[in-house]
Amino acid sequence: MDAPTTLAAPQPAAESRKRAGRASRAAERAAPRTDLGCAYIVRGIPTYDVMGEENLIKIETAIDRLLAETGIEFRDDAETLALFRKAGAEIMGERVRFPPGMLREILKTAPAEFTQHARNPANNVRIGGKNIVFAPSYGSPFVMDLDRGRRFGTLEDFENFIKLAQSSPWFHHSGGTICEPTDVAVNKRHMDMVYAHLRYSDRAFLGSVTAPERVEDSIEMSRLVFGADFVAQNCVIMGNFNVNSPLVWDGAVTRGMRAYARAGQGCVLVPFILGGAMGPVTSAGAIAQAVAETMAGCALTQLERPGAPVVFGNFLSSMNLRSGSPTFGTPEPAVGSLVIGQLARRLNLPLRCSGNFTTSKLPDAQAMTEGVMSMLAAVQCGANFVLHSAGFLDGLLSMSYEKFMMDADLCGALHSYLKGVQVDDDQLALPAFAEVGPGGHFFGCAHTLAHYEGAFWESDLADNEPFEKWQSEGSTDAATRANRLWKKRLAEYQAPPLDAGIDAALRDFIARRKGGMPDMWY
Amino acid sequence: MDAPTTLAAPQPAAESRKRAGRASRAAERAAPRTDLGCAYIVRGIPTYDVMGEENLIKIETAIDRLLAETGIEFRDDAETLALFRKAGAEIMGERVRFPPGMLREILKTAPAEFTQHARNPANNVRIGGKNIVFAPSYGSPFVMDLDRGRRFGTLEDFENFIKLAQSSPWFHHSGGTICEPTDVAVNKRHMDMVYAHLRYSDRAFLGSVTAPERVEDSIEMSRLVFGADFVAQNCVIMGNFNVNSPLVWDGAVTRGMRAYARAGQGCVLVPFILGGAMGPVTSAGAIAQAVAETMAGCALTQLERPGAPVVFGNFLSSMNLRSGSPTFGTPEPAVGSLVIGQLARRLNLPLRCSGNFTTSKLPDAQAMTEGVMSMLAAVQCGANFVLHSAGFLDGLLSMSYEKFMMDADLCGALHSYLKGVQVDDDQLALPAFAEVGPGGHFFGCAHTLAHYEGAFWESDLADNEPFEKWQSEGSTDAATRANRLWKKRLAEYQAPPLDAGIDAALRDFIARRKGGMPDMWY
């Protein structure tokens, strides 16, 4: 299923282990799975395609014109300008204009689907095609829970969220900067974050993106776990990079992207367009802009290293036009995401799109109204990598412990949703109708007994009991139950095994790197 | 767009008024609209079709076999048995078996799309095709609000919900038994309910279904408002009837259905299948059963009066298999509804499907997680008439004032969602990109100023403010804001004008009918 690529095709786990070169690493990655879920979802229902061919072509034509006429600015990165110049773009200062069709041609070397390896190979994820990978939310400075309210995130919070994700069968990926560990210096925290992902999770994860040298640290730490040879041949880490919309890629970002690509590692490239601020208020224009920006970034990874894994990202939003505040989980970005999905598939690139968004400051009805609206858009639009699957609150300013549990539960529901309806003689149950007959009851019939277990997805949080039972048990709301559940899960958490030698090597690397650095706090 | 029918085609309002015969009624129905919404939604995006042709045919084959082999029981209604016998069904006692294809043939006389007239013609709704009509929830014995908790519903509550619906631009239909007015005798309350719909709303509504004579009262009261001639030629009232699943239609129900059909009025026919109890635990089997049951009911209306308006209804649910409790808003019924939509369109019948369901006992995160999951399924599956759009709590046992406001807000969001993404030069905004350029800001540009107003749907309930502002204003959750909003809306409510002569005639009718009746309380 992969597009032509100079990287190694994904290897079966057994063969991969041979390459790793160290028995301890091999044993580590073969450790048994600690969860009950699937490594990733393979969708059983089609995507929701809402736009017809004629309008898709109109948008694509506008994208081509935008890229050729207005173009995109690549700031503070002469190597990027040189790569684009060599590929045929028109360069004026830092402005790059692309002849129609140029970027589409370059993007043909990008894989339509690739594997990101986890240190436990049972958790390797295939990104692209019909596959869907859920990862926790990313980038909040604050954390929040019902007991302590809102506060700056710490490394302990960061580790807690990794543990909660690892404990749930409904995530497939450990994510990246789940919250900012603000108690660690800005120039050092990336190593603690990468270490925490490697230590407390055995799923795939995202590395640092905040500076090229931090990208290098992240990749180097991966080499200590996977082996340098394995990392040279396989994607084991990715970085999630943002466009500086409208139409600007900053040098710190493009240098980081190129570092991942050069190492054969993955990039997820995402514009953040708040309609009316960083883009037009009209959806079609915002979509055209977003696709143009992302195409240019994805093409850069291919110029740096043809075949490098890259994920076409998107993050549409809207705005409260009275206050100027961003809004999330509203209808326009939801339906816009469905269109973005169609456009990404026409580029044959894996898609990151939407997530579980809200502006609510509490894990309340607003939070989940907006969350479900945007999360259903994510799976319906065909997103292959859904960052921000869980925990997002307050327009991404806060990671909420309770919302994280609610969102994990929703991710579970979506596993069942995406299976669709199975149709065969057994599922159609005609003999059961003959057995039960009109006016009968299916509860005790043979077909029900045979299919009883696992017939329906079961929520960890919903209260389906009769009113009186619910009342006698304390009349709890969902937030209260979520509060109890995250505490229970943290108390029960068990770390996946990590080879002591690898652990020591990681700690040693961090100590050495941190040793010579003064703390930077901004 | 209508299928062949012996009923009059929907008339333009001007012509309808001529027929009504009484100037007061004409003036009444021409009263100006009191809301800012649309009479109904015409969808701008396609339905979400998740099942392929091969599996659809497998389900249809199973439906035909179920109808021919097990058949359906029609209890206590000899006339119904006679109608089916005459049409070619095989009758054994009360069991009716249908030769393959028979029901599909009969259903060809049912209109694919029809108009239900409202007393304000601006609020007439087209049901079927690409149209979507939202109506409040239906049938709860209890009501609930944050101040008073759960209690039995009263006529005052019933009237309050009609007023709240009428005050919102996001509903198109006044619904039916929004909650049971338990302070009025069972054999009399239907008249108070019909009166309340006619008095406090000027939208279309549902009449009584609990006994054939109450159906007749409902239609007679409609005649007092619309004129007998108009009612003879147009659909002005509908009844929402339930199958006694599995595979039983009760006589009290079929006689009521036939009374509406005979009068040329509408029927909405709905199985309620709780998988594992009234149907198989497997979705495909439950879907086959639901379609078979509904097809038989719809066909009966066509045998009673070919061309009578009928809505193909569905209400899939699931069960907590540990406790046996019903569950709502879960993923299996959501995706099952998408399949039901495909099957209903192949029958060319208007569809009622899904709604805003939950088992939560509070207007909390669970309520809206489940509500949005099922409500998005309703609009994505192509439902034309969405009963239970608002207020549903506690597995339909309670109407919640706060949830009603949250759901109304969601209905508003869906108006924008269903428009899809408009694509034209103006929406694509290429000149705006040239004006703003890379790194600029769209807030003040000409395109933004021109499109600023109405660019995005605006919630009445969501708090999008910065955390500090939200905190300084009381740190409210969505339920608290909903509580304030319904009180404000009730305080501001103004009844749509109703001609004094019609009002007196309705009151007189009720007084006369109630006069001779002893109160029945069960």
Contacts of A450 in chain B (CB under 8 A): none
Sequence-distant (6+) residues with CB within 8 A of B483 are B145, B146, B147, B401, B402
**Mutation test of the interface with chain A: which of B368, B418, B452, choosing the one with the most A Cβ atoms within 10 A?**
B368
Write down the pLDDT at residue B98. 98
Write down the pLDDT at residue B29. 42
Contact in structure between A278 and A245 (CB atoms under 8 Å):
yes
- Cβ atoms within 10 Å, residue B472: 10
In B192-293, the DSSP E strands lie at 238-242, 248-249, 266-270, 273-274
- Cβ atoms within 10 Å, residue A500: 9
Contacts of A278 in chain B (CB under 8 A): 441-442
Q: What confidence category does residue B37 fall into, taking pLDDT thresholds of 50, 70 and 90?
A: low
DSSP B70: I
Contacts of B428 in chain A (CB under 8 A): 58-59, 62, 282, 284-285, 288
**Mutation test of the interface with chain B: which of A368, A376, A396, A441, choosing the one with the most B Cβ atoms within 10 A?**
A368
**Between B47 and B316, whose confidence is greater?**
B47
Q: Nearest-CA distance from A365 to chain B in Å?
A: 4
Phi, psi of A229 (to 5 degrees): -60, -45
Write down the pLDDT at residue A4. 31
Q: Does the distance separating the beta carbons of A368 and B365 come in below 8 Å?
A: yes
The first and second tokens of residue B262, run together, are 């005979």
Write down the pLDDT at residue B478. 98
Distances (CA, A) of B205 to A177, B117, B134, B427, B497: 52, 9, 11, 38, 17
Q: Nearest-CA distance from A485 to chain B in Å?
A: 15
- Please check the confidence at residue B2 and state whether its pLDDT lies above 60: no
Write down the pLDDT at residue A7. 33
| CA neighbor of B248 nearest in space, from B68, B73, B83, B79 | B73
What residues does B151 pair with on adjacent strands? B143
Contact in structure between B190 and B198 (CB atoms under 8 Å):
no
Phi, psi of A115 (to 5 degrees): -105, 130
The predicted model gives B215-237 an average pLDDT of: 98
Strand order in the sheet with B326-327: B273-274, B316-319, B326-327
Helix/strand number for chain A, H first, E second: 20, 20
Identify the H or E element spanning B327: strand B326-327
The first and second tokens of residue B394, run together, are 């506690």
DSSP A199: H
Place of tokens 């939604």: B41
The first and second tokens of residue B187, run together, are 């054999």
Rounded CA-CA distance B183/B168 in Å is 27
Q: Nearest-CA distance from A520 to chain B in Å?
A: 27
Q: Nearest-CA distance from B404 to chain A in Å?
A: 12
* Residue A69 CB-half CA count within 13 A: 14
Q: Does the distance separating the beta carbons of B331 and A457 come in below 8 Å?
A: yes
DSSP A122: G
Q: Nearest-CA distance from A345 to chain B in Å?
A: 18
Q: Does the distance separating the beta carbons of A69 and B442 come in below 8 Å?
A: no
SS3 B220: helix
Place of tokens 């035909």: B64
pLDDT digits (tens, 9 = 90+) for A292-341: 999 999 999 999 999 999 999 998 888 887 788 899 999 999 999 999 99
Indicate left, alpha or beta for B354 from its phi (over 0: left) and psi (-120 to 50: alpha).
left
Rounded CA-CA distance B165/B176 in Å is 12
Contacts of A76 in chain B (CB under 8 A): none
The predicted model gives B46-57 an average pLDDT of: 98
Q: Does the distance separating the beta carbons of A62 and B437 come in below 8 Å?
A: no
Q: Which of A78-92, A245-259, B19-33, B127-141 has the lowest mean pLDDT?
A: B19-33
Rounded CA-CA distance B521/A198 in Å is 67
| CA neighbor of A60 nearest in space, from A360, A347, A413, A456 | A347
Rounded CA-CA distance A466/B394 in Å is 8
Write down the pLDDT at residue B19. 37
Q: Does the distance separating the beta carbons of B334 and A281 come in below 8 Å?
A: no
The predicted model gives B503-516 an average pLDDT of: 96
Contacts of A475 in chain B (CB under 8 A): 361-362
Contact in structure between B478 and B409 (CB atoms under 8 Å):
no
Q: Does the distance separating the beta carbons of A247 and B437 come in below 8 Å?
A: yes
**Which residue in B244, B321, B456 is closest to A455 by CB distance?**
B321
**Which residue in B331, B359, B438 is closest to A464 by CB distance?**
B359
**Mutation test of the interface with chain B: which of A337, A464, A486, choosing the one with the most B Cβ atoms within 10 A?**
A464
Contacts of B14-20 spanning 24+ positions with Cβ under 8 A: B16/B117, B16/B121, B16/B230, B16/B234, B17/B121, B19/B227, B19/B229, B19/B230, B19/B233, B20/B226, B20/B227, B20/B229, B20/B230
Identify the H or E element spanning B316: strand B316-319
Closest chain A residue to B286 measured between Cα atoms?
Answer: A428
Q: Does the distance separating the beta carbons of B246 and A479 come in below 8 Å?
A: no
What residues does A72 pair with on adjacent strands? A96
Architecture of domain B1-53+110-420+459-522: Alpha-Beta Barrel (3.20)
Write down the pLDDT at residue B85. 98
pTM: 0.93
In B330-408, the DSSP E strands lie at 351-353, 385-386, 392-393, 398-400
Asked casually if ipTM beats, i.e. exceeds, 0.85, the reply is yes
Write down the pLDDT at residue B449. 92
**Which residue in A62, A419, A439 is closest to B430 by CB distance?**
A62
Sequence-distant (6+) residues with CB within 8 A of B504 are none
Rounded CA-CA distance B492/B480 in Å is 19
Phi, psi of A399 (to 5 degrees): -95, 125
Q: Does the distance separating the beta carbons of B359 and A462 come in below 8 Å?
A: yes
Write down the pLDDT at residue A336. 97
Q: Does the distance separating the beta carbons of A361 and B437 come in below 8 Å?
A: no
| CA neighbor of A399 nearest in space, from A208, A176, A188 | A176
Secondary structure percentages of chain B, helix, strand, coil, to 5 = 45, 15, 40
**SS3 string of A239-285?**
EEEECCCCCEECHHHHHHHHHHHHCCCEEEEECCEEECCCECCCHHH
Contact in structure between A214 and A38 (CB atoms under 8 Å):
no
Contact in structure between B265 and B240 (CB atoms under 8 Å):
no
Identify the H or E element spanning B265: none
The first and second tokens of residue B388, run together, are 């239970």
SS3 A121: helix
Q: Which of A35-39, A169-173, B389-393, B449-453 has the lowest mean pLDDT?
A: A35-39
**Mutation test of the interface with chain A: which of B49, B132, B274, B427, choosing the one with the most A Cβ atoms within 10 A?**
B427
Sequence-distant (6+) residues with CB within 8 A of A277 are A319, A324, B441, B442, B443
Rounded CA-CA distance B208/B180 in Å is 12
Closest chain B residue to A438 measured between Cα atoms?
Answer: B247
Contact in structure between A237 and A260 (CB atoms under 8 Å):
yes
Q: Does the distance separating the beta carbons of B394 and A361 come in below 8 Å?
A: no
Write down the pLDDT at residue B83. 98
* pLDDT beneath 70, residues of chain A: 1-37
Sequence-distant (6+) residues with CB within 8 A of A35 are A166, A167, A168, A169
- Cβ atoms within 10 Å, residue A246: 28
Contact in structure between A295 and A287 (CB atoms under 8 Å):
no
Q: Does the distance separating the beta carbons of B420 and A51 come in below 8 Å?
A: yes
| CA neighbor of A317 nearest in space, from A326, A325, A308, A309 | A326
**SS3 string of A396-411?**
HCEEEHHHHHHHHHHH
**Which residue in A55, A319, A369 is closest to B410 by CB distance?**
A369
| CA neighbor of A4 nearest in space, from A95, A109, A87, A94 | A109
Write down the pLDDT at residue B14. 37
Write down the pLDDT at residue B265. 98
Whole-angstrom distance between the N-terminal and C-terminal Cα of chain B? 44
Q: Does the distance separating the beta carbons of A73 and B406 come in below 8 Å?
A: no
Q: What confidence category does residue B4 fall into, taking pLDDT thresholds of 50, 70 and 90?
A: very low
pLDDT digits (tens, 9 = 90+) for B243-263: 999 999 999 999 999 999 999
Q: Does the distance separating the beta carbons of B361 and A363 come in below 8 Å?
A: no
Domain boundaries, chain A: 1-53+110-420+459-522, 54-106
Closest chain B residue to A359 measured between Cα atoms?
Answer: B464
pLDDT digits (tens, 9 = 90+) for B430-448: 999 999 999 999 988 999 9
The first and second tokens of residue B146, run together, are 């944050």
